[in-house]
Structures are given as C-alpha cells and as structure tokens.
Structure 1
Amino acid sequence: MQISELYRDGTFGLSVEIFPPRNESGDAELFKTLEELIRYQPAFVSCTYGAGGSTSKRTIELCALIQNQLHNTATAHFTCVNSTREELVEWLQNAFDAGITNIMALRGDPPAGQETFVPADGGLKYANELVTLIREHFPKMGIGVAGYPECHPEASDANVDLTNLKRKVDAGADAIYTQLFFNNEHFYQFRERCSQAGIDRPIIPGIMPITEYRRIQRIMSMCSSEFPADLVGQLEAAQDDLEAQFEIGVEYAIRQCEQLIKEGVPGIHFYVLNRSQACKRIFDALGFPETQENIAT
C-alpha cells in the first residue's frame, strides 16, 4: 500500500524503520528481526541510508527483499547528500524498477567532517526540492517527509521550521513522520501548530524505545529532543544494570504510545534499531495483532 492511501480510511498505521547492516552477521540478525516484526503486519518497513548516502544501493536491495521475500510493503529513504539531480533521478528509476513505490524524502545529514549541509554541484539543498523532483519524474510515488516536534536543530526557531515543513507538504508530501521524542506534549503542540499553519497531512509520531542508556545518550546528543528528568533519573539509577534499563525503556514507551493512541494519532512509526525484542513487547502490550503464518519464502 502506498503512503498516499494508508491513512485515508481511519485504519491505524503501524510502521517500523531499520538501517542497512555493516556485515553479513548483521544481515542475518536483521532478517530475524524483520521476520519477528512483520508478524505484526506493519503498513510498511522503511530502510534508511548510511552516512553520506553510502548505502543508497543497499537500501533499494533491502526494500526489494522486504517486498519480495517477506511480502511486506517497503519504503526507501532518499536524500540529497552527495548526488546531482541526474544521479537522484537515476536512483529513483532504480527504486521504481525494483518495485518500490514509497519514498521517505529527506535532505540528509551533512557528511562526516562537514558542520553544515553543502549540496553537491548540480544537486539539491532542501527536502522540498527533493519532493518536487519525485513528483516531477514519478508522480504516483507515495512520499513521506520528516517533521520535528521540538524544532530542527538547524532551524533558527519553530516558525521557520514549520515554514520549511509547509514547503515540503505543498511540494507534494503525503504524510509527515516525526523525529523521536519522549515528551508527548511536544508532539501535541506541534500537531496543533501544523493545523494552524494549514498543514493537512497525517502526522505520525516517531518513537524509539530505549534499550540501553548509553546508546540513547549518543543518539540524543545528535538531536534537539528533551530527555525528561524523571526518565533520566530512572535510567541513571540503573546504569549498571542493562536488563533494568531495558525494562524502564519499554515500560516508558508503552505508556507513551498508549497516550498517543488515546489522542487519536493515525499511526506510530517505530525506530527499532534493527532489534525486535523491545518492539515485540510494546506491540503485544498495545494489542497489535500478530499472525502465526510463515511470512518468509
């Protein structure tokens, strides 16, 4: 199913996000994770790029595997990084030829060693330009874009950030998937500001279950999200106990998702970090149905 059709009938859209592994052992572990999570019949599985677009071809390969072997819709991440317009169109054609009809259109992070994003010669600078390019060459593609409940780290303020989001929507985005957050109030306020700005696309909260305190600290250092003091206190008290950290993170995510669902979100997008255990616990607690069929061929 395409992103453009996914949220139209009020059906809740569960989706999960993975990244390309670095080696064969990682591939095997990811396949196990996908087999576990696809039993919950997510609307789609999205696959990211590596740093600097280094795994862009691998992204297409994994998306094709998800669709052809695991029989689940895939969404390929697509960025402006290190690519000319011609190379971007070529990548889109390769994705289309592989049967991929959903794209997550993102500007992308600056390559290693760059503090600010610099487009390639003959390339694109902003995600809204990427959405325009997709619509120009592949008008029927489903397109998701990123939203930032607590403001993009590079935006001067929330109003500027919202204006940039509106440009992506006006260019043809079908749905908005947010950066991770741990305070739901930020999401609710963001959703209200989007409504006031005339942004009428589905807004899907992005949730990253905490499984290890040190790992989430590294991730949080790269984004502008608030880390609630009570959650930090619990994790710090358990910093020598990985099992306790996992339990704290999973229980927090369950409560967070329960509240979001009560507030009528059209779906939830889970950043699973290529592991299934935490999300399985959350999905079961939320009552998402699981099929027992063998989904792999």
Structure 2
Amino acid sequence: MNNLMLYKKNIFLEKFSKIAKDIQISFELFPPKKSFLEEKLLNVVKNFKLFKPKFFSVTHGANSGKENLTYSLVKKIKKKTGINTAPHLTCSDFTKFELKNIAKKYWNNKIYHIVALRGDEFNNSSRSKMGAIDLVYLLKKIANFDISVAAYPEVHPKAESAYKDLMNLKNKMDAGANRAITQFFFKIEHYLRFRDKCFSIGIKKDIVPGILPIYSYDQLIRFSKLGKVAIPKWIKNTFKNFKNDVDICKIIGSNIMLEMVYGLYREGVRNFHFYTLNRLEIVYSICCILNQTSF
C-alpha cells in the first residue's frame, strides 16, 4: 500500500473511529415469499448478528393473511440469535378481538417488543377502523410492551396536513409508544427539521432515522415515488450516469448511506434503523466500516 493510500485510509478510519462506540443499530427484515428463501435469510441474520444490534424487526404486510409467517420468523430469529426481535403488527388487517389474541400470544411467548402500525388499506377492505394510536392503547392494556411506531419526516402520503401528521405522532407517543422509527429519507435536513418540530411540541422520546440501502437507479426512483420521498438532485444525477452498472451503483449507494449516518451522527443521532431489503451486501459493508471490522 503506497503512502497516499495509507494516508487516505487513516483519514477514513479516523472519521468513523468514534461512531461504533456510541451508536446502536437495528435491522428490518420481511418474511420471504418462498419457503426455500428462509434459510438464505437466516444466514443474512447470522451475519448481521455480528454487529450486536439492539433488535431485529420483521414486517407484516396488511391484508396478507400471513401473520403466522411473521410470528414464525420472529421466533426463529430470536432463537437463532438471542437478540430481541420485534414483529410488525398492523391493525387494519385484524379485528380488535384478533389483535388482543395476537398480542397475548406474543407476550406469552416472551416477545415483548412490537412495531405498531396502522397498515395499508386496499379497496376499503380493512377489517378494522382502528388507528395506530388505538393499537398502542390496546397493547399497553394487554401488557407493558416495548412499542415502536412509525414517523414521517416528509409527512405521511395520506395525512391531511403536516401539522395533523405531527400531532398524530405525539398522540401515539402519549398513548405509550417508546420510540418512533422514521420512513426512509435521502435529505438529512428533512429529518433534522422534523426532529426539531417533534421536540417543539413535547415529543422527548427517540426519533430513530430509518436508512434505506440503494442498489440501483430504478429502485431509487420506485421507492421514492411509493413513499413520496424527495431525492437530492446530485444523487439522482450520479445514479443516472451509471444506472446500467450494478457494481458502481452499489458503491454509490454505500457511500450515500455512510455519509448519511456520519452526517446524522454529527447532529447527535445515536440510534439507526436499517431497512435491509433482506439483502446483505450494502448494509453489511456499512456496518463493517462503522465497527472497523473490515480493516
């Protein structure tokens, strides 16, 4: 290694040397659609375990009728890793009676952390008129669950206004939620402004930024449209110039994630939630750098 490369490496290491000691991370996964993919996912989990995450979370798609898949995967991850694993629970998919039974089942099986969500509605087919606030109240009546809820730095796509969206979050916190995990974003200033607004209305609990790995230009555009998330022009242009080169796109995506984590860290953020997309490459490489384990 020549002197210039060594110098650059030392600068890079110095930049991230303090982060691993200060931060806590968590990872989001989803149940595979095909059973044969489960073993592959558990191998991904095994690798993520090396970074001693605060928790794993496992999603549950609304109206999927597959709550048992979430429950089964949560149990397997917790058994395999010994790490706190939180199921997502969406109240739009169940009646109040069903939600109570699911909550009791989780608690009785020593699953104490739940990500409480309203869930998507498809063609007005929701089985419940409950909102996430109602679900938080219900869970707290069942037992003293550790509850995470969702937050939207760029406003929920279906919210009547930014103010009402913010007050909805405050109501969830007041109902007993322990923290909020944000939707992914690409502009740090959006998160920081949102965090300031939360503090200004009395939300003192942690607002954990959700960080999404970017693997390709097409994925970037698709996800941003789904969540109505703004993309900085420089990111869009950088990916667009190399959108047909898979390897370069991964490198770009990794650098964007690193700079986001570093920028947020400098602003006092100490908890990060990674949306893994059930893939290892980018998130694993970022965590290796943050933990100084790849050098």
State whether TM-score is above 0.5. Answer: yes
1:231 paired residue among 229, 235, 240: 235
Q: Is the 8 A contact 2:63 2:126 kept in 1?
A: no
In structure 1, C-alpha distance between the alignment counterparts of 2:133 and 2:292, rounded to whole Å: 34
Q: Write 1 or 2 for the structure with the bigger share of helix.
A: 2
Show the 5 A alignment for 1:176-255. Answer: 176-255=180-259
TM-score (norm 2): 0.89
Secondary structure at the aligned position of 2:116 is classed as: strand
Q: Is the 8 A contact 1:20 1:50 kept in 2?
A: no
Match of 1:267 in 2: 271
TM-score (norm 1): 0.88
1:18 paired residue among 29, 44, 52: 29
* Residues 44 and 288 of structure 1, relative CA distance in 2, 3 Å threshold: farther
Does the alignment pair 1:85 with 2:77?
no
Match of 2:137 in 1: 132
In structure 2, C-alpha distance between the alignment counterparts of 1:219 and 1:128, rounded to whole Å: 26
- Between 1:89-98 and 1:204-213, the stretch displaced more is 89-98
Match of 2:157 in 1: 153
In structure 1, C-alpha distance between the alignment counterparts of 2:65 and 2:247, rounded to whole Å: 34
Does the alignment pair 1:39 with 2:50?
yes
Match of 2:83 in 1: 72
In structure 2, C-alpha distance between the alignment counterparts of 1:231 and 1:16, rounded to whole Å: 24
* Residues 289 and 88 of structure 1, relative CA distance in 2, 3 Å threshold: farther
Point out where structure 1 has 5 or more consecutive residues left out of the alignment: 1-9, 291-297
- How far off is 1:217 after superposition? 2.2
In structure 2, C-alpha distance between the alignment counterparts of 1:30 and 1:281, rounded to whole Å: 17
RMSD between superposed Cα atoms in Å: 1.7
Q: Is the 8 A contact 2:62 2:93 kept in 1?
A: no
Query: Any runs of at least 4 consecutive aligned residues in structure 1 with deviations exceeding 3 A, and if so which?
Result: none
- How far off is 1:149 after superposition? 0.4
Whichever of the two has the greater Rg, that structure is 2
- Percent identity reads 32
1:279 paired residue among 273, 279, 283: 283
- How far off is 1:249 after superposition? 0.7
2:171 paired residue among 163, 167, 178: 167
Q: Is the 8 A contact 2:42 2:77 kept in 1?
A: no
Does the alignment pair 1:257 with 2:261?
yes
Count of aligned positions: 274
Point out where structure 2 has 5 or more consecutive residues left out of the alignment: 1-20
Secondary structure at the aligned position of 1:76 is classed as: strand
The one-character-per-residue Cα deviations of 1:36-62 (angstroms, maximum 9, x if unpaired) are 111111000000003424321111111
In structure 1, C-alpha distance between the alignment counterparts of 2:77 and 2:215, rounded to whole Å: 25
The one-character-per-residue Cα deviations of 1:72-95 (angstroms, maximum 9, x if unpaired) are 110110111231100001111221
Q: Is the 8 A contact 1:53 1:81 kept in 2?
A: no
- How far off is 1:118 after superposition? 5.8
